[in-house]
Structure 1
Amino acid sequence: MSLKGYSIPRTSTGRASLVPHPPWHYVGDLLVVDYWADPDAARSVLPEGLDPHPDAGRCAAVFADWQSCSGEGEELLDPVRAQYREFFLVVNALLDGEEVTTCPFIWVDQDFALVRGWIQGFPKKLGSIWMTRTFGLGGVAADPGLGEGARYGATCSARGRMISRMTLTVEGPSEEGPRHNAPPIVNVRHFPRLARGRHDDPQVHELVKLLSRDRASSTAVEGEATLELYPAEGEEHHILAPVKVGRGYRMTLGYTVDDLETVKEIQQR
Protein backbone atom coordinates (compact mmCIF):
# COMPACT_ATOMS: atom_id res chain seq x y z
CA MET A 1 0.00 0.00 0.00
CA SER A 2 1.47 3.38 -1.00
CA LEU A 3 1.51 6.38 1.31
CA LYS A 4 -0.47 9.44 0.36
CA GLY A 5 -0.47 13.11 1.26
CA TYR A 6 0.83 16.40 -0.10
CA SER A 7 3.06 16.98 2.94
CA ILE A 8 4.24 14.99 5.93
CA PRO A 9 3.01 13.04 7.75
CA ARG A 10 2.01 10.79 4.82
CA THR A 11 -0.36 7.92 5.51
CA SER A 12 -2.48 5.37 3.66
CA THR A 13 -5.28 7.97 3.38
CA GLY A 14 -3.33 11.26 3.35
CA ARG A 15 -5.74 12.88 5.81
CA ALA A 16 -3.01 13.57 8.38
CA SER A 17 -0.89 15.76 6.06
CA LEU A 18 -0.07 19.04 7.77
CA VAL A 19 -0.50 20.94 4.51
CA PRO A 20 -3.26 19.84 2.13
CA HIS A 21 -2.87 19.62 -1.63
CA PRO A 22 -3.29 22.95 -3.49
CA PRO A 23 -5.26 24.97 -4.41
CA TRP A 24 -5.10 27.09 -1.27
CA HIS A 25 -7.77 29.76 -0.93
CA TYR A 26 -7.21 32.77 1.35
CA VAL A 27 -9.24 35.68 2.70
CA GLY A 28 -8.20 38.05 5.46
CA ASP A 29 -8.03 41.49 7.02
CA LEU A 30 -4.73 43.33 6.60
CA LEU A 31 -3.09 46.23 8.39
CA VAL A 32 -0.23 47.64 6.30
CA VAL A 33 2.30 50.39 6.96
CA ASP A 34 4.39 51.82 4.13
CA TYR A 35 7.78 52.91 5.49
CA TRP A 36 11.49 53.35 4.79
CA ALA A 37 14.38 51.58 6.51
CA ASP A 38 18.09 52.31 6.38
CA PRO A 39 19.08 51.73 2.72
CA ASP A 40 22.16 49.70 3.62
CA ALA A 41 20.08 47.46 5.88
CA ALA A 42 17.50 46.96 3.13
CA ARG A 43 20.22 46.01 0.65
CA SER A 44 21.77 43.57 3.12
CA VAL A 45 18.70 41.28 3.15
CA LEU A 46 18.24 41.04 -0.63
CA PRO A 47 18.84 37.53 -1.98
CA GLU A 48 21.17 36.95 -4.90
CA GLY A 49 19.38 37.76 -8.13
CA LEU A 50 17.61 40.87 -6.84
CA ASP A 51 18.94 44.41 -7.19
CA PRO A 52 18.26 47.34 -4.82
CA HIS A 53 15.20 49.45 -5.54
CA PRO A 54 15.95 53.01 -6.73
CA ASP A 55 13.87 54.30 -3.79
CA ALA A 56 16.42 52.95 -1.32
CA GLY A 57 15.07 51.49 1.90
CA ARG A 58 11.44 51.24 0.77
CA CYS A 59 9.66 48.62 2.91
CA ALA A 60 6.26 47.61 4.23
CA ALA A 61 5.10 46.00 7.47
CA VAL A 62 2.01 43.79 7.22
CA PHE A 63 -0.24 42.28 9.89
CA ALA A 64 -2.83 39.82 8.60
CA ASP A 65 -5.73 37.88 10.12
CA TRP A 66 -6.35 35.03 7.64
CA GLN A 67 -8.90 32.34 6.97
CA SER A 68 -7.87 29.73 4.39
CA CYS A 69 -8.94 26.39 2.99
CA SER A 70 -8.02 23.82 0.36
CA GLY A 71 -10.11 22.85 -2.65
CA GLU A 72 -12.91 21.06 -0.83
CA GLY A 73 -13.24 23.77 1.83
CA GLU A 74 -13.47 21.27 4.71
CA GLU A 75 -11.24 23.45 6.90
CA LEU A 76 -13.99 26.06 7.11
CA LEU A 77 -16.00 23.60 9.24
CA ASP A 78 -12.98 23.02 11.50
CA PRO A 79 -11.70 26.60 12.02
CA VAL A 80 -8.57 25.59 13.96
CA ARG A 81 -7.27 24.30 10.60
CA ALA A 82 -8.37 27.42 8.72
CA GLN A 83 -7.60 30.50 10.79
CA TYR A 84 -4.24 32.06 11.60
CA ARG A 85 -2.52 35.42 11.98
CA GLU A 86 0.88 36.57 10.79
CA PHE A 87 3.24 39.54 10.70
CA PHE A 88 5.85 40.12 8.04
CA LEU A 89 8.17 42.67 6.47
CA VAL A 90 8.81 43.16 2.77
CA VAL A 91 11.66 45.05 1.11
CA ASN A 92 11.29 46.57 -2.34
CA ALA A 93 13.77 45.48 -5.00
CA LEU A 94 14.25 44.98 -8.73
CA LEU A 95 14.26 41.71 -10.71
CA ASP A 96 15.72 42.36 -14.16
CA GLY A 97 14.39 45.91 -13.92
CA GLU A 98 10.91 44.87 -12.72
CA GLU A 99 9.68 46.18 -9.38
CA VAL A 100 9.25 43.34 -6.90
CA THR A 101 9.29 42.77 -3.15
CA THR A 102 10.96 40.14 -1.04
CA CYS A 103 10.09 38.90 2.45
CA PRO A 104 13.13 38.51 4.75
CA PHE A 105 11.24 38.16 8.07
CA ILE A 106 7.82 36.70 8.95
CA TRP A 107 6.07 35.20 11.98
CA VAL A 108 2.90 33.09 12.05
CA ASP A 109 0.85 31.47 14.83
CA GLN A 110 -0.17 28.13 13.25
CA ASP A 111 1.97 25.14 12.22
CA PHE A 112 0.18 24.45 8.90
CA ALA A 113 0.70 28.06 7.81
CA LEU A 114 4.36 27.83 8.86
CA VAL A 115 5.08 24.80 6.65
CA ARG A 116 2.90 26.06 3.81
CA GLY A 117 4.97 29.23 3.88
CA TRP A 118 8.24 27.28 3.70
CA ILE A 119 6.92 25.52 0.59
CA GLN A 120 6.39 28.95 -0.99
CA GLY A 121 9.72 30.40 0.14
CA PHE A 122 8.55 32.45 3.12
CA PRO A 123 11.05 32.19 6.04
CA LYS A 124 8.26 31.75 8.61
CA LYS A 125 8.85 31.41 12.34
CA LEU A 126 6.29 30.87 15.09
CA GLY A 127 4.99 33.92 16.91
CA SER A 128 1.99 35.43 18.67
CA ILE A 129 0.09 38.02 16.64
CA TRP A 130 -2.87 40.15 17.72
CA MET A 131 -4.93 42.68 15.74
CA THR A 132 -7.87 44.96 16.40
CA ARG A 133 -10.99 43.66 14.65
CA THR A 134 -14.10 45.27 13.22
CA PHE A 135 -17.45 43.54 12.89
CA GLY A 136 -19.36 46.08 10.81
CA LEU A 137 -21.55 47.36 13.64
CA GLY A 138 -21.42 51.13 13.61
CA GLY A 139 -21.93 52.85 16.95
CA VAL A 140 -20.80 49.87 19.07
CA ALA A 141 -18.08 50.96 21.47
CA ALA A 142 -15.95 47.82 21.07
CA ASP A 143 -16.05 48.00 17.25
CA PRO A 144 -13.89 50.78 15.79
CA GLY A 145 -15.56 50.59 12.38
CA LEU A 146 -13.90 52.02 9.29
CA GLY A 147 -14.91 55.65 9.56
CA GLU A 148 -12.80 58.70 10.25
CA GLY A 149 -11.12 58.46 13.65
CA ALA A 150 -11.29 54.65 13.90
CA ARG A 151 -8.19 53.32 15.67
CA TYR A 152 -6.43 50.01 15.09
CA GLY A 153 -3.45 48.35 16.67
CA ALA A 154 -1.44 45.17 16.18
CA THR A 155 1.44 43.43 17.95
CA CYS A 156 3.77 40.52 17.27
CA SER A 157 5.88 38.69 19.85
CA ALA A 158 7.96 35.53 19.59
CA ARG A 159 9.46 33.32 22.31
CA GLY A 160 8.21 35.78 24.91
CA ARG A 161 9.93 38.78 23.29
CA MET A 162 8.26 41.74 21.58
CA ILE A 163 8.90 41.87 17.83
CA SER A 164 6.72 44.68 16.52
CA ARG A 165 3.90 47.07 17.28
CA MET A 166 1.85 49.27 14.95
CA THR A 167 -1.13 51.62 15.13
CA LEU A 168 -3.45 53.15 12.54
CA THR A 169 -5.86 56.05 12.89
CA VAL A 170 -8.26 56.07 9.95
CA GLU A 171 -8.76 59.32 8.07
CA GLY A 172 -10.86 58.03 5.17
CA PRO A 173 -10.95 55.88 2.02
CA SER A 174 -7.69 55.37 0.13
CA GLU A 175 -7.53 56.07 -3.59
CA GLU A 176 -4.51 53.82 -4.25
CA GLY A 177 -4.16 51.56 -1.21
CA PRO A 178 -0.78 50.45 0.11
CA ARG A 179 2.03 50.80 -2.44
CA HIS A 180 5.18 49.42 -0.83
CA ASN A 181 3.82 45.84 -0.71
CA ALA A 182 1.99 46.01 -4.05
CA PRO A 183 4.67 44.56 -6.40
CA PRO A 184 4.96 40.76 -6.79
CA ILE A 185 6.80 38.84 -4.06
CA VAL A 186 10.04 37.07 -4.99
CA ASN A 187 11.50 34.79 -2.30
CA VAL A 188 14.11 32.07 -1.90
CA ARG A 189 12.96 28.47 -1.40
CA HIS A 190 15.73 26.94 0.71
CA PHE A 191 15.88 23.36 2.01
CA PRO A 192 19.24 22.28 3.47
CA ARG A 193 20.95 18.89 3.47
CA LEU A 194 21.94 17.00 6.60
CA ALA A 195 24.42 14.62 4.94
CA ARG A 196 27.91 15.04 6.42
CA GLY A 197 30.16 17.05 4.16
CA ARG A 198 27.24 18.60 2.29
CA HIS A 199 25.81 20.98 4.89
CA ASP A 200 26.70 23.95 2.66
CA ASP A 201 25.13 22.35 -0.42
CA PRO A 202 21.36 22.82 -0.01
CA GLN A 203 18.92 20.39 -1.58
CA VAL A 204 16.86 23.34 -2.87
CA HIS A 205 18.05 26.93 -3.24
CA GLU A 206 16.04 28.81 -5.84
CA LEU A 207 14.62 32.24 -6.48
CA VAL A 208 10.85 32.02 -7.00
CA LYS A 209 8.06 34.44 -7.85
CA LEU A 210 4.80 33.87 -6.00
CA LEU A 211 1.71 33.61 -8.18
CA SER A 212 -1.94 34.07 -7.26
CA ARG A 213 -5.27 34.21 -9.05
CA ASP A 214 -8.92 35.14 -8.48
CA ARG A 215 -7.91 38.15 -6.43
CA ALA A 216 -10.55 40.31 -4.77
CA SER A 217 -10.15 43.28 -2.47
CA SER A 218 -12.22 45.70 -0.48
CA THR A 219 -11.70 49.44 -0.70
CA ALA A 220 -8.82 50.29 1.59
CA VAL A 221 -8.99 52.98 4.24
CA GLU A 222 -5.87 54.89 5.24
CA GLY A 223 -4.51 57.25 7.83
CA GLU A 224 -1.68 58.15 10.13
CA ALA A 225 0.36 55.17 11.33
CA THR A 226 3.08 54.29 13.80
CA LEU A 227 5.47 51.36 13.58
CA GLU A 228 8.07 49.99 15.99
CA LEU A 229 10.45 47.07 15.48
CA TYR A 230 12.13 45.87 18.67
CA PRO A 231 15.49 44.10 19.05
CA ALA A 232 15.11 40.55 20.39
CA GLU A 233 17.59 37.79 21.16
CA GLY A 234 17.97 35.45 18.21
CA GLU A 235 16.24 37.83 15.78
CA GLU A 236 17.52 40.34 13.21
CA HIS A 237 14.39 42.04 11.90
CA HIS A 238 15.16 45.20 13.84
CA ILE A 239 17.84 46.16 11.29
CA LEU A 240 14.86 47.16 9.13
CA ALA A 241 13.49 49.51 11.80
CA PRO A 242 11.82 52.55 10.24
CA VAL A 243 13.75 55.76 9.64
CA LYS A 244 10.58 57.24 8.10
CA VAL A 245 6.96 56.06 8.46
CA GLY A 246 4.46 56.66 5.67
CA ARG A 247 0.75 55.97 5.57
CA GLY A 248 -1.10 53.09 7.19
CA TYR A 249 -3.92 51.09 5.58
CA ARG A 250 -6.63 48.57 6.43
CA MET A 251 -8.24 46.34 3.81
CA THR A 252 -9.70 42.87 3.21
CA LEU A 253 -8.08 40.66 0.57
CA GLY A 254 -8.86 37.30 -1.00
CA TYR A 255 -6.99 35.14 -3.55
CA THR A 256 -6.02 31.60 -4.55
CA VAL A 257 -2.54 30.01 -4.79
CA ASP A 258 -1.79 26.87 -6.80
CA ASP A 259 1.30 27.80 -8.81
CA LEU A 260 4.85 29.12 -8.45
CA GLU A 261 7.38 30.46 -10.97
CA THR A 262 11.01 29.45 -10.52
CA VAL A 263 13.05 32.46 -11.59
CA LYS A 264 16.41 30.72 -11.35
CA GLU A 265 18.54 28.34 -9.35
CA ILE A 266 21.01 30.31 -7.26
CA GLN A 267 24.35 29.39 -5.76
CA GLN A 268 24.72 29.31 -1.98
CA ARG A 269 27.11 31.96 -0.79
Structure 2
Amino acid sequence: MRPTTAAGPHGYSLPLSPSGTASMLTPPPWHFSGNVVMVDYRVDPAEAGRFLPPELTPGPDPGAAAAVFAEWQWCSASGAELPDPGRTQFTEFLVLLACTHRDRPMARCCYAWVDSAVPLVRGWVQGMPKQFGEIHQTRPAAVGRAGPRLAGGGRFHGTVSVHGRRVAEAAVTLEGRVDEPPALHAVPLVHSRVFPDWVAGVSHPAQLVTSEVTDVEFSDIWAGRADLRFLGADDDFGLLAPVEVGRGYVFSYAETLCGGTLL
Protein backbone atom coordinates (compact mmCIF):
# COMPACT_ATOMS: atom_id res chain seq x y z
CA MET A 1 0.00 0.00 0.00
CA ARG A 2 1.44 3.39 -1.00
CA PRO A 3 2.03 6.00 1.72
CA THR A 4 -0.36 8.92 1.67
CA THR A 5 -0.15 12.46 2.98
CA ALA A 6 -2.88 14.79 4.15
CA ALA A 7 -1.23 17.58 2.13
CA GLY A 8 -2.10 15.88 -1.15
CA PRO A 9 -0.10 16.32 -4.35
CA HIS A 10 2.41 19.17 -4.19
CA GLY A 11 5.55 20.59 -5.80
CA TYR A 12 7.37 23.82 -6.62
CA SER A 13 5.60 24.01 -9.99
CA LEU A 14 3.13 22.01 -12.02
CA PRO A 15 2.69 19.10 -12.39
CA LEU A 16 1.95 18.32 -8.75
CA SER A 17 2.50 14.81 -7.44
CA PRO A 18 2.44 12.89 -4.14
CA SER A 19 6.21 13.30 -3.62
CA GLY A 20 6.54 16.69 -5.34
CA THR A 21 9.29 15.39 -7.62
CA ALA A 22 7.19 15.59 -10.80
CA SER A 23 7.45 19.40 -10.90
CA MET A 24 8.86 20.82 -14.11
CA LEU A 25 10.92 23.29 -12.05
CA THR A 26 13.12 22.64 -9.07
CA PRO A 27 13.05 25.41 -6.45
CA PRO A 28 15.86 27.98 -6.57
CA PRO A 29 18.74 28.52 -6.26
CA TRP A 30 19.58 27.84 -9.90
CA HIS A 31 23.17 27.96 -11.16
CA PHE A 32 23.91 29.14 -14.71
CA SER A 33 27.09 29.08 -16.81
CA GLY A 34 27.07 30.28 -20.39
CA ASN A 35 28.65 31.90 -23.42
CA VAL A 36 27.36 35.27 -24.60
CA VAL A 37 27.39 37.28 -27.82
CA MET A 38 26.00 40.74 -27.07
CA VAL A 39 25.51 43.97 -29.01
CA ASP A 40 24.88 47.39 -27.51
CA TYR A 41 22.60 49.58 -29.59
CA ARG A 42 20.15 52.46 -29.43
CA VAL A 43 16.37 52.57 -29.81
CA ASP A 44 14.24 55.60 -30.54
CA PRO A 45 13.88 56.98 -26.96
CA ALA A 46 10.20 57.78 -27.44
CA GLU A 47 9.48 54.19 -28.47
CA ALA A 48 11.63 52.77 -25.67
CA GLY A 49 9.58 54.70 -23.10
CA ARG A 50 6.40 52.98 -24.29
CA PHE A 51 7.79 49.61 -23.16
CA LEU A 52 8.35 50.74 -19.56
CA PRO A 53 5.68 50.42 -16.85
CA PRO A 54 4.88 53.61 -14.88
CA GLU A 55 7.20 52.65 -12.01
CA LEU A 56 10.24 52.76 -14.32
CA THR A 57 11.84 55.74 -16.06
CA PRO A 58 14.24 55.78 -19.02
CA GLY A 59 17.02 57.09 -16.78
CA PRO A 60 20.01 59.20 -17.81
CA ASP A 61 20.55 57.38 -21.13
CA PRO A 62 17.13 57.03 -22.82
CA GLY A 63 17.13 54.60 -25.71
CA ALA A 64 20.14 52.56 -24.58
CA ALA A 65 19.48 48.91 -25.44
CA ALA A 66 21.19 45.56 -25.94
CA ALA A 67 20.63 42.36 -27.88
CA VAL A 68 21.91 39.28 -26.04
CA PHE A 69 22.50 35.81 -27.50
CA ALA A 70 23.48 33.12 -25.01
CA GLU A 71 24.10 29.39 -24.73
CA TRP A 72 23.46 28.19 -21.18
CA GLN A 73 23.99 25.19 -18.96
CA TRP A 74 22.13 25.19 -15.64
CA CYS A 75 21.60 23.06 -12.56
CA SER A 76 19.85 23.23 -9.20
CA ALA A 77 21.68 23.44 -5.87
CA SER A 78 22.40 19.70 -5.86
CA GLY A 79 23.72 19.59 -9.43
CA ALA A 80 21.64 16.44 -9.95
CA GLU A 81 20.58 17.53 -13.47
CA LEU A 82 24.11 17.73 -14.91
CA PRO A 83 24.34 14.07 -16.04
CA ASP A 84 21.41 14.84 -18.39
CA PRO A 85 22.75 17.50 -20.81
CA GLY A 86 19.54 17.53 -22.81
CA ARG A 87 17.78 18.85 -19.73
CA THR A 88 20.37 21.37 -18.61
CA GLN A 89 21.35 23.07 -21.88
CA PHE A 90 19.39 25.76 -23.71
CA THR A 91 19.82 28.83 -25.88
CA GLU A 92 18.32 32.27 -25.35
CA PHE A 93 17.90 35.69 -26.95
CA LEU A 94 16.99 38.82 -24.97
CA VAL A 95 16.24 42.44 -25.84
CA LEU A 96 17.14 44.75 -22.94
CA LEU A 97 16.31 48.41 -22.37
CA ALA A 98 18.11 50.70 -19.93
CA CYS A 99 15.86 52.09 -17.21
CA THR A 100 15.85 53.21 -13.58
CA HIS A 101 13.70 52.45 -10.56
CA ARG A 102 13.94 55.19 -7.93
CA ASP A 103 17.31 56.22 -9.37
CA ARG A 104 18.63 52.64 -9.35
CA PRO A 105 20.02 51.64 -12.76
CA MET A 106 18.32 48.52 -14.12
CA ALA A 107 17.53 46.77 -17.40
CA ARG A 108 14.09 45.82 -18.69
CA CYS A 109 13.74 42.65 -20.75
CA CYS A 110 11.08 43.47 -23.34
CA TYR A 111 11.36 40.35 -25.50
CA ALA A 112 12.93 36.95 -24.90
CA TRP A 113 13.07 33.66 -26.77
CA VAL A 114 14.36 30.27 -25.62
CA ASP A 115 14.47 26.84 -27.22
CA SER A 116 13.37 24.66 -24.30
CA ALA A 117 10.30 24.34 -22.07
CA VAL A 118 12.01 24.46 -18.66
CA PRO A 119 13.67 27.88 -19.15
CA LEU A 120 10.47 29.19 -20.72
CA VAL A 121 8.37 28.28 -17.66
CA ARG A 122 11.14 29.39 -15.30
CA GLY A 123 11.16 32.73 -17.10
CA TRP A 124 7.40 33.15 -16.56
CA VAL A 125 7.93 32.51 -12.83
CA GLN A 126 10.43 35.37 -12.85
CA GLY A 127 8.24 37.61 -14.99
CA MET A 128 10.40 37.35 -18.11
CA PRO A 129 8.46 37.46 -21.41
CA LYS A 130 9.90 34.23 -22.80
CA GLN A 131 8.59 32.59 -25.97
CA PHE A 132 9.76 29.66 -28.06
CA GLY A 133 12.32 30.30 -30.77
CA GLU A 134 15.45 28.92 -32.43
CA ILE A 135 18.62 30.69 -31.32
CA HIS A 136 22.09 29.96 -32.69
CA GLN A 137 25.47 31.58 -32.17
CA THR A 138 29.04 31.02 -33.28
CA ARG A 139 31.14 28.94 -30.92
CA PRO A 140 34.85 29.72 -30.53
CA ALA A 141 37.24 27.05 -31.76
CA ALA A 142 40.43 26.22 -29.88
CA VAL A 143 41.76 24.09 -32.76
CA GLY A 144 41.09 23.80 -36.47
CA ARG A 145 39.43 26.18 -38.92
CA ALA A 146 35.73 25.53 -38.28
CA GLY A 147 35.31 28.49 -35.94
CA PRO A 148 36.88 31.78 -34.87
CA ARG A 149 39.40 32.21 -32.08
CA LEU A 150 38.76 34.44 -29.08
CA ALA A 151 41.27 36.89 -30.45
CA GLY A 152 41.49 39.99 -32.55
CA GLY A 153 39.76 39.45 -35.89
CA GLY A 154 37.51 36.66 -34.62
CA ARG A 155 34.00 37.08 -36.02
CA PHE A 156 30.99 35.84 -34.08
CA HIS A 157 27.36 35.65 -35.24
CA GLY A 158 23.97 35.22 -33.59
CA THR A 159 20.59 34.47 -35.16
CA VAL A 160 17.01 34.14 -33.90
CA SER A 161 14.13 32.50 -35.79
CA VAL A 162 10.50 32.28 -34.70
CA HIS A 163 7.95 30.04 -36.47
CA GLY A 164 10.49 29.49 -39.24
CA ARG A 165 11.11 33.24 -39.81
CA ARG A 166 14.40 34.97 -39.05
CA VAL A 167 13.62 37.87 -36.68
CA ALA A 168 17.09 39.10 -35.63
CA GLU A 169 20.73 38.62 -36.53
CA ALA A 170 23.99 40.05 -35.27
CA ALA A 171 27.72 39.90 -35.96
CA VAL A 172 30.67 40.95 -33.79
CA THR A 173 34.25 41.29 -35.04
CA LEU A 174 36.64 41.22 -32.10
CA GLU A 175 39.25 43.94 -31.71
CA GLY A 176 40.57 43.51 -28.17
CA ARG A 177 39.85 42.85 -24.52
CA VAL A 178 38.04 45.36 -22.32
CA ASP A 179 38.13 45.73 -18.54
CA GLU A 180 34.44 46.35 -17.86
CA PRO A 181 31.39 44.26 -18.81
CA PRO A 182 28.77 45.85 -21.08
CA ALA A 183 26.56 48.18 -19.06
CA LEU A 184 23.27 46.33 -19.48
CA HIS A 185 24.85 43.01 -18.45
CA ALA A 186 26.06 44.51 -15.17
CA VAL A 187 22.78 45.83 -13.71
CA PRO A 188 19.75 44.02 -12.21
CA LEU A 189 16.93 42.97 -14.51
CA VAL A 190 13.41 44.20 -13.71
CA HIS A 191 10.36 42.14 -14.73
CA SER A 192 6.57 42.15 -14.46
CA ARG A 193 5.03 38.95 -13.06
CA VAL A 194 1.64 38.71 -14.75
CA PHE A 195 -1.17 36.32 -13.82
CA PRO A 196 -3.93 36.43 -16.47
CA ASP A 197 -7.49 36.53 -15.16
CA TRP A 198 -9.07 33.09 -15.17
CA VAL A 199 -11.61 32.91 -12.35
CA ALA A 200 -14.52 35.31 -12.87
CA GLY A 201 -14.35 38.29 -10.53
CA VAL A 202 -10.79 37.58 -9.39
CA SER A 203 -7.88 39.60 -10.80
CA HIS A 204 -4.19 39.63 -10.00
CA PRO A 205 -2.33 42.91 -10.52
CA ALA A 206 1.09 42.66 -12.13
CA GLN A 207 4.02 42.49 -9.72
CA LEU A 208 7.17 44.49 -10.51
CA VAL A 209 10.11 42.36 -9.39
CA THR A 210 13.85 42.03 -9.65
CA SER A 211 16.01 38.96 -9.20
CA GLU A 212 18.42 38.19 -6.38
CA VAL A 213 21.69 37.07 -7.98
CA THR A 214 24.95 35.89 -6.38
CA ASP A 215 28.25 34.33 -7.49
CA VAL A 216 28.54 36.48 -10.61
CA GLU A 217 31.61 35.70 -12.71
CA PHE A 218 32.88 37.04 -16.05
CA SER A 219 35.60 35.57 -18.22
CA ASP A 220 37.88 37.84 -20.24
CA ILE A 221 35.58 40.16 -22.20
CA TRP A 222 36.35 40.71 -25.87
CA ALA A 223 34.84 43.67 -27.71
CA GLY A 224 34.72 44.97 -31.25
CA ARG A 225 32.63 46.44 -34.00
CA ALA A 226 29.13 45.05 -34.46
CA ASP A 227 26.23 44.74 -36.85
CA LEU A 228 22.63 44.16 -35.73
CA ARG A 229 19.40 43.80 -37.67
CA PHE A 230 15.82 43.16 -36.62
CA LEU A 231 13.85 41.52 -39.41
CA GLY A 232 10.41 41.32 -37.81
CA ALA A 233 8.43 39.30 -35.28
CA ASP A 234 5.44 41.54 -34.63
CA ASP A 235 4.75 45.24 -35.07
CA ASP A 236 5.78 46.12 -31.53
CA PHE A 237 9.07 44.22 -31.83
CA GLY A 238 9.89 46.41 -34.81
CA LEU A 239 9.68 49.49 -32.57
CA LEU A 240 12.82 48.24 -30.81
CA ALA A 241 14.87 48.04 -34.02
CA PRO A 242 18.29 49.73 -33.91
CA VAL A 243 18.60 53.37 -34.88
CA GLU A 244 22.31 53.15 -34.04
CA VAL A 245 24.57 50.12 -33.39
CA GLY A 246 27.36 50.32 -30.83
CA ARG A 247 29.99 47.84 -29.66
CA GLY A 248 29.69 44.08 -29.61
CA TYR A 249 31.01 41.70 -26.95
CA VAL A 250 31.87 38.03 -26.57
CA PHE A 251 32.43 36.49 -23.13
CA SER A 252 31.50 33.71 -20.73
CA TYR A 253 29.30 34.44 -17.72
CA ALA A 254 28.02 32.66 -14.61
CA GLU A 255 25.56 33.47 -11.85
CA THR A 256 23.35 31.90 -9.20
CA LEU A 257 19.70 32.97 -9.26
CA CYS A 258 18.33 32.81 -5.72
CA GLY A 259 14.81 34.21 -6.08
CA GLY A 260 13.00 37.51 -6.53
CA THR A 261 12.24 40.74 -4.69
CA LEU A 262 9.16 42.97 -5.04
CA LEU A 263 9.89 46.55 -6.08
Q: Normalising by the residue count of structure 1, what TM-score does the alignment of the two structures yield?
A: 0.92
Distance change (3 Å), C-alpha of 1:6 and 1:235: farther
Whether 1:214 aligns to 2:220 is: no
User: Which residue in 1 is equivalent to 2:251?
Assistant: 251
Instruction: Trace 1:67-82 onto structure 2 (pairs within 5 A).
Output: 67-82=73-88
The list of structure 1 runs, each at least 4 consecutive aligned residues, that deviate by more than 3 angstroms after superposition, is none
SS at match of 1:74: coil
Structure 2: segments with no counterpart, 5+ residues: none
Work out which of the residue numbers 178, 188, 194 in structure 1 matches 2:192.
Answer: 188
Deviates more, 1:173-182 or 1:125-134: 173-182
User: Which residue in 2 is equivalent to 1:23?
Assistant: 29
Q: CA RMSD in A?
A: 1.4
User: Which residue in 2 is equivalent to 1:53?
Assistant: 59
Distance 1:104 1:246 in 2: 19
Distance 2:97 2:118 in 1: 25
Distance 1:124 1:48 in 2: 22
Work out which of the residue numbers 160, 165, 172 in structure 1 matches 2:164.
Answer: 160
Distance 1:141 1:93 in 2: 41
Query: Is contact 1:221–1:250 with CA below 8 Å preserved after alignment?
Result: yes
Query: Is contact 2:226–2:245 with CA below 8 Å preserved after alignment?
Result: yes
User: Which residue in 2 is equivalent to 1:149?
Assistant: 153
Question: What amino acid is aligned across from residue 61 of structure 2 in structure 1?
Answer: D
Distance 2:248 2:185 in 1: 12
SS at match of 2:107: strand
Displacement, 1:195?
Answer: 2.0
User: Which residue in 1 is equivalent to 2:92?
Assistant: 86
Distance 1:241 1:181 in 2: 19
Distance change (3 Å), C-alpha of 1:8 and 1:204: farther
Distance 1:48 1:162 in 2: 32
Query: Is contact 2:168–2:232 with CA below 8 Å preserved after alignment?
Result: no
| Equivalent residue pairs, number | 257
Distance 2:16 2:40 in 1: 41
SS at match of 1:21: coil
Q: Normalising by the residue count of structure 2, what TM-score does the alignment of the two structures yield?
A: 0.94
Query: Is contact 1:177–1:222 with CA below 8 Å preserved after alignment?
Result: no
